[in-house]
Amino acid sequence: MDKIILQKLKFYGFHGLMPEENRLGQPFHVDVELYADLYKAGVSDNMNDSIHYGEAYEMIKEIVEGEAKNLIEAVAEDIAQKLLSSFDLLQGCRIKVIKPNPPIPGHYDSVAVEIYREKSK
């Protein structure tokens, strides 16, 4: 299956279990893979035969910068469901939500959740 990849999308959101996360917010990064048959778009050179990644970006931004969630798992699920329901051509998607600065002690680059969802047949 072909895919469209959106990497390291950067947003500011208010997700987390700690009250200060909901009040102060923090950066979030999102990686997305959109699985679809892109052959027709490659031959036709017509946007109507593909998935408009600018529109996908705006949907992702609305979710990550929108209503606060306790878990990044819920953020990832909302993104996946929104994308799958919005694009007819989209067959599946992989969503990775990265929290670069979670309020936990230790030494690490980030924490993340990655999910894969498919359109039900």
The set of catalytic residues is 99
CA-nearest of 9, 33, 13 to 115 is: 33
The partner residues of 112 in beta bridges, in order of sequence, read 98
**Phi, psi dihedrals of residue 38, rounded to the nearest 5°:** -100, 10
Whether the CB-CB separation of 18 and 48 falls below 8 Å is answered with no
CA-nearest of 40, 24, 45, 41 to 101 is: 24
Whether the CB-CB separation of 9 and 69 falls below 8 Å is answered with no
Helix (H, G, I), strand (E, B) or coil at 104: coil
